[in-house]
Structure 1
């Protein structure tokens, strides 16, 4: 019989609580020894010093540990803690850890079950500790204890560990309303972002977009980039550009340009420029974004691959196929080495597009079929829509338009479900092209007119021009 894995407890404290951290670890060890052979529930204490060495902002790596934890203990005594180097919202690393845990607590898909905050008796605590304690009292946000000494800490924590055993099963998400010391409403902004993204994903783009707009107004660069993504999907390229610039400004002002999130902001702006037809400007932004990635941890690798995808597509737009292939293949190799099979599909889609441009249709078709097969049965995403578009394009180029129609219809349905209007317009144009080539003139005209109307509503002149070109040639078909 395989023993169950221990439940993780993230221990968040400023640096002045050395003895208290040791007491917590000892208490957990004693609990595990007493519980051995009883209910099988064991705990494992996780701390900031278990983060592997990284050149990115250390707090980002710590936050990833929190995302994998089931419970959190946050202790405060005299010191508030050192600055986390964050771009927005927090004045100490321990504060960011606490609020990251509170955000995880409200997400059903995350393991965080509960948080316990302890205020250890001290004659002269930092005023921010007193303010946090009073805010918790005022909002009834989380459970906390006043702790007199190490013995009192172990007694109260032992009770908490026993009560947590009942929470080891299904999670009940809890949303907490608490303000950090900066006065910026971090939790509200983040929760609005998460709800907005989920509503867009569930096919309610207008409601989701409204929440994301409010989130961007309240929040920092993460919220602004999230809002920029949905604006770009909806065809509001000017609005999307403004939001990406607002995010970039945060990093420029705070001196944190050399980070994965800053690189992501520059690459998000490059995607907007690409949609506007400013391909050389987009390449410049993307090349600059790569220089901001100084680390090679998992998060930095994801961002680097995404930038190389975008660089390859931009190079294709300026007909530099060797430059496109160099970036696509570099991203593919990194994803294969890391075993990220889902992301490998994105690389295969990009390489298939390159083979289409190089007129190697059999190779492109092989890539497309592999991607469609791999994604079958997984939740719909822009990756699914891109795979459908790709498969339809290959079949159209192979003079098999009837086989391309179902693939284009699938891509259209997915793009509508995820509220990607730009993708919807591309799918409609491709569907019209397939129907025209298959001799289905009435359907081709219907799809082309829908494509034209959608592009005009997005003020996408290039997309509208393509739809008009197709409509002008339909009477002769």
Structure 2
């Protein structure tokens, strides 16, 4: 039997607790040794020491490590810690780490399962520590403990480690309301953004948009960009442009590092609005600017860079510069192969396949599509899985093989329903209607087209309604 990988505990604390940090590590090692044969659950402790040098704000790299962790332990005693240069209203690195863990706890797709705060006894703790403890005692008593000495710290941590074993297999995401020392309600803003994005995916466009708008007022660039995407989907492109400019201005003003992934994503988001406005040449300029903001030696920045290269390739494709589009897509693919990220490699293959469909190289497109579908089989369903099945069905339909395309379209429909993507569901239904119509199965084609019409109507997607209605009209002739 292969042992399971250890669950990762991120250890957050100000700099006045080196001894207590070592106690935490020793306690975890002792727990792992005791658990030896009786449990398959072990832990590893990580902290800021794990992060290598980076051209970005150092805390950003630490936050990414928290995003890969299953649990977070935060220790506070006398000192609050030093400022981290955060634009989000955090006044110390430890505070930012704690709140990053709480944000991760509220995201269903992230591994963070629990956060535990230990307040160690001190005659005169910093005012921020006192206020944080008072907040938690009123609203989140189960998430913290008061610790008298090292012996009690070890005992309380051991109890947590034993309780956490029950959380090893699955996660129940939780949204926590807690105010940072600055008074900026960053948790509420982030949770509103996540809720709004989910509501939009579920087809509840107006409710989702309202949540995203409130998040943009409370939050920072991430929330402003999410709201901008919502506005763009509704065709309110001028307002969407303004929202992206607010996010860009945040970085230009020096409130946050300009050479950072989030700043690059702000420029890329504005490029997306420009593309919707038909200003593809301007969009290409913004995307090329965005790429220059990213550090090529940073793995996360490279992931963002590849996503921007995807958009740049699509913009080149839109203006008919297919050679530049192919070069850009290929550059993204080569980078992703180097990063060994299978899902992202599949996204690049999808982009290249669609380009080959456009130029009529259907055999090449089919080979890309087959590779993507095969590589994704057996992995947890995502929008990429559904897109790959849609692509395979579209290629087969263009090759005059609609019957062979239908199973792919059916899988796409099932996947989109599984991940609650109403837009993807509408696309899959339209594709099924097209395949059935081409295969001479008129009754089924009409059923799928009418279902597509209803989904688009519920989302307020007029173009989607028109495409579905066109098929119905053609079938009536």
Shorter-chain TM band: 0.7 to 0.9
**How far is the alpha carbon of 1:181 from its aligned partner?**
0.8
User: Is 2:284–2:315's contact at 8 Å kept on the other side of the alignment?
Assistant: yes
Task: Map 1:4-403 to 2 at 5 A.
Answer: 5-29=5-29, 42-107=42-107, 110-123=111-124, 125-141=125-141, 142-147=143-148, 152=149, 154-164=150-160, 165-170=162-167, 173-202=173-202, 204-233=204-233, 235-253=235-253, 254-376=255-377, 381-400=382-401
Q: 1:25/1:378 Cα in 2 relative to 1: closer, same or farther (>3 Å)? A: closer
Gaps of 5+ in 1: none
Q: State how far apart, in whole Å, the 1-side matches of 2:317 and 2:6 are.
A: 49
Superposition deviation, residue 97 in structure 1: 0.6
Deviations 1:197-235 (A, max 9, x none): 344445555544443333333222223333344444455
Q: What value does the CA root-mean-square deviation take over the aligned residues?
A: 4.0
Equivalences for residues 437-448 of structure 1 within 5 A:
none
8 Å CA contact retained: 1:441, 1:474: no
Gaps of 5+ in 2: none
| Cα drift, residue 359 of structure 1 | 2.4
Please say if residues 260 and 293 of structure 1, whose CA atoms lie closer than 8 Å, have aligned partners that are also in contact. Answer: yes
Q: What is the distance in 2 between the residues matched to 1:41 and 1:414?
A: 32
The answer to whether the 8 A contact 2:56-2:257 is kept is no
In 2, the alpha carbon distance for the partners of 1:122 and 1:36 equals: 39
TM (norm. structure 2) is: 0.81
Aligned residue pair count = 468
- Whether the aligned pair in 1 keeps the contact of 2:347 and 2:384 (CA below 8 Å) is yes
Contact 1:456 1:464 in 2 (8 A): no
Residue 312 of structure 1: how far off its partner (Å): 0.9
Distance 1:7 1:186 in 2: 27
Question: Equivalent residue of 2:119, what SS?
Answer: strand
Residues 422-452 of structure 1 show CA distances to partners (whole Å, capped at 9, x for unaligned) of 767876876777677667889689959959x
Please say if residues 70 and 112 of structure 2, whose CA atoms lie closer than 8 Å, have aligned partners that are also in contact.
Answer: yes
Q: Output the CA distance in 2 between the equivalents of 1:4 and 1:51.
A: 24
Residue 259 of structure 1: how far off its partner (Å): 0.5
Supply the distance in 2 between the matched residues of 1:4 and 1:426 (Cα, whole angstroms).
39
Q: Is the 8 A contact 2:205 2:459 kept in 1?
A: no
Distance 2:410 2:32 in 1: 56
Deviation of 1:269 after TM superposition, in Å, equals 2.2
Higher mean alpha-carbon deviation, 310-319 vs 389-398, is at 389-398
In 1: Cα distance, 2:430 partner to 2:373 partner? 20
Deviation at 1:160, TM superposition (A): 1.2
- Contact 1:431-1:444 within 8 A present in 2 as well: no
Q: Hey, what's the Cα distance between the residues in 2 that align with 1:176 and 1:467?
A: 43
Deviation at 1:183, TM superposition (A): 0.8
